[in-house]
Structures are given as C-alpha cells and as structure tokens.
Amino acid sequence: MLRQTAYRLLACCMLFMVSACGDSDSGSSSAVVANQVVLEKSVSDSYQEVRHIVLRGTNQEIGRAIAQLSNDYYQVPPMSFDSLQYKNSRNSYIQQHFPALAERQKGVAAYYGWGDSDLHDSSALWYDMQPVNCSAIFFPKTVTANGHSFQARNMDFYTVDMYEFLNPGHPGKGNKLFSRNFVMETYPQDGGYASLVVGTLDLLNGAYDGFNEYGLTISGLVDQNLGSDPKNLVPLADLERVDGLSYLQMVRVILEGARTVAEARQLVSNLKVYFPMDGIHFLIGDRNGNALILEFSEKDLSPRFVDPPYPGPTIMTNHSVFKTPTINTFPTIDYTQSYNTYYRYIRLYDYLQASVFHKYTPDDGLYAMSLVYGFVDDASEGTAKPLPLRTVWSLVMDVDDLSMKIKFYTVDNNTFKTPIFTDTYTFRLQK
C-alpha cells in the first residue's frame, strides 16, 4: 500500500500547509438537514467517532455545506496548485466529466472566499489521508431470502496515529488514523442521483462504500497488484499536477451517474482515473443482481472489467481478480498468516460452498464478514515493524431496501483476539 516515503511527504505537507480561515459565521448551512455524532470517540470506550450527515439542496449549496463542515469538524488544510495552469486543467476535466462536482467546487470556493486566481484546490478537502485493506461479498437476489441483492464488506486499517505509522513503537499525540468517519446522505436537486455512503478522508469525495437511489452499490478495496508498483501511484508532492479524477471522485461519479452495472461500466470507460496513496479495485453490484469487479491495468491504468469468476455471490479481497480469478490459480498459502488476502478469500469461499443451498439474509452477510475480521499485528503495508490492524467497520447494504446496516469497531477483546463492535446501526436512503 502507501509506502513510508509517501507518508513522510504527507507529514511534511501537513506541517507546512496553512489552513484558510473560512467564513466567520459557523452556523449550519441551509443544505444541512442533519449533522449528528452517532458514535462518540473516547479513550477507553470507542476507537472512532462517526458523524451522520444529511445534505439536501443544489450542488453548490451542498459544496458550501461540506466546506463548512470540513473546516468546523475536521480542521481541513486545503491543498494548493503550483500554478493556474494546473488548476484550470484539473477543473476543466471535472467540468466535462463530473459537472455536479464542478458545481460543488463553486460552493467550496464561496465558503473560503477564493477567487478565480486563487491556487487552492476546491475539488478535494483531504484529512487523515490513508489507504485501506478489506473483504467484501456481493449477494445477487437469486440467492437471497427476501429476493433483494445486497453487498457485505469489512473495512480494515491500522489503529495508530500518523507519527507511530512512520515511527513504529513510538506513539505520537495526533489523531489516530481512520478514527474520524462519516455516514453521509446527499440529495442534490440540480443533477446527480441521491446516495448514501460511509467513508473518511474527504467529506467532498471520500466514499468507500455506498449505494444510490437506483440500487447501484460499490465498495473500494486495496488492489495489492496495482499498488505494488510506485509508478501507478501519484506522489503526494505531485497530487496537484495530474488531470483526471481521483479514485474517490470516480466512486462519486459512479454513484451519482449510473443506475446499473452496465451503465457504470460505460461511464468508467470514458474516465481518466489516478491513484493517490494506493491502488484500489472495486466491487460493483445492482438491484438486478448483476455484479462487476473493476480493476485498473498496472501498465497504463486503463480500466479492466472482470466478470464474477463464480456463479452466485461474488467475493473480493485484496489481490487482483484479473490475475488470479479462481482459487486454483492462487499461490501456495501459509495458513498461519490468517490475514493473507488469499486466506481470507478461501475462508469466505468455503463458507459459501458449505451454505450453497441456503437463501441468504443481510445478517448472513454480516456473519460472513465476521469470519474474516481484522485482528492482527501486521507489517505488510510498508511499516518497519508490525502494527495493530483492526476491522474499523463491518456493513451490509440492501440495494432494494436502500438501507445500510453497519457496526463500528470500539475496543479490543484481547482474551478472544477479536474486535468489539457497537450494536448495528441502520441508515436508509429516502426515495
């Protein structure tokens, strides 16, 4: 995943960037329907904070609201372009391929008071930038008890702060990574489908799991094949010099512009996507029960559309499905390494094989994810020594019901070597 060099660049960027002040009026924007902390972060009881945000209005109003929330609650230091040439080139591409984001950028710029000649980047409002591991399964409606298609997923990450990530064994005093997360509903009134997402990193774009009003669902997971070659990743120092859309912005494009897997495939075919931090691949499903794995070529970052390798539920972990699509193509596995991507895939595959005649429920999806919870000390992502890795959230998305059932990591159960989660929250997109 993201290697130590990139983290050191980020640390330097965060040290020297100066945050804009924003409006003096910190009252809620008219687009903010709800803004509530549903899980409070504490030293002893919960690792993470989760904020539930509901936004309704024009895209420009939504953008302004996101800028205000980002400044008020996440202390976002806006990044800057080196020149107007880079800024205009990026914004021109966004205007052509993601006009809803272009409108939201106007709201971001208005909140901060940025003019046309200002070099700040209004297309992303990054905070706590880090990569992710994970496991996921898409269950088509043909194998479910209620006739609904649904998608289950674990989000896994290291539970340390930036300083310790760079200096293992030496905890810092900063905010721990992947500990300020959000569930966001957006209802744009002038372009783009309504969507419900869970994410982090960037309120403007940072959706790692979500679905839209038409029942299209998507989850982004690390692709170790793509991320293993540094040339495929945009160094943080060059982030403001590339054209196209980041993979997080691509997720938003898909959710806000596609109703089916086929439409998502067509939409992505026309995009130039870049990867800050790490390589990612995506599991996409729709209400009709269709699934697609979206990967990107390690040669030129062109999209690869991989059909599910098995009938029925579609599994994805962190290896390239294009290169190793079925278990008979996997390398030899060390079964003592329970967090290995191939081990997790086989664990889920065995569960599905043992229950092949079963009609699955969303709770079965959550149970399947419990078989591969992250609870290890791991150094596979570029750290100098093992660090604690945990499943940060576990969820299932019912794309017919337009609901998300999700539980969040709180603390460790060291006796049984497993993470302890909250009770299940349910969020629902309003039609």
CB–CB of 213/195 below 8 Å?
yes
The domain at 32-424 falls in which architecture? 4-Layer Sandwich (3.60)
3-class DSSP assignment, residue 26: coil
Neighbours of 276 (CB within 10 A): 22
Rounded Cα–Cα distance for residues 52 and 196 (Å): 10
SS3 content of the chain, % helix, strand, coil (to 5): 30, 30, 40
Neighbours of 401 (CB within 10 A): 16
Q: According to the model, what pLDDT value does residue 22 have?
A: 39
Between β-strands 245-246 and 273-274, what pairing exists: parallel, antiparallel or unpaired?
Answer: parallel
Close Cβ partners of 107 (under 8 Å, ≥ 6 residues apart): 59, 60, 61, 62, 63, 64, 65, 66, 67
Rounded Cα–Cα distance for residues 56 and 178 (Å): 26
Q: According to the model, what pLDDT value does residue 131 have?
A: 55
Rounded Cα–Cα distance for residues 391 and 152 (Å): 13
Rounded Cα–Cα distance for residues 425 and 318 (Å): 26
CB–CB of 406/365 below 8 Å?
no
pLDDT tens-digit map of 255-298: 999 999 999 999 999 999 999 878 999 999 999 999 999 999 99
Q: According to the model, what pLDDT value does residue 238 have?
A: 86
pLDDT tens-digit map of 373-408: 999 887 665 566 678 889 999 999 999 999 999 999
CA distances (Å), 62 to each of 236, 290, 303, in order?
A: 27, 31, 30
Q: According to the model, what pLDDT value does residue 165 have?
A: 66
Rounded Cα–Cα distance for residues 428 and 431 (Å): 9
Q: According to the model, what pLDDT value does residue 19 have?
A: 32
Neighbours of 302 (CB within 10 A): 10
Q: Which residue has the tokens 């629902």?
A: 428
Sorted by where each begins, the domain ranges of the chain are 32-424
Q: According to the model, what pLDDT value does residue 13 have?
A: 38
Structure tokens belonging to residue 208: 């790692």
Q: According to the model, what pLDDT value does residue 95 have?
A: 97
DSSP 298-343: TTT--EEEE--SSSSSEEE-SS-TTTS-SGGGSPP--TT-TT-HHH
3-class DSSP assignment, residue 195: strand
Q: According to the model, what pLDDT value does residue 27 have?
A: 45
Which regions of the chain are under pLDDT 70? 1-29, 129-132, 161-167, 173-174, 379-385
Tell me, rounded to whole angstroms, the distance of Cα 262 from its chain centroid.
22
pLDDT tens-digit map of 143-188: 999 999 999 999 998 777 666 666 677 777 667 778 999 999 999 9
Tell me, rounded to whole angstroms, the distance of Cα 237 from its chain centroid.
22
Q: According to the model, what pLDDT value does residue 23 have?
A: 39
CA-based end-to-end distance of the chain:
38
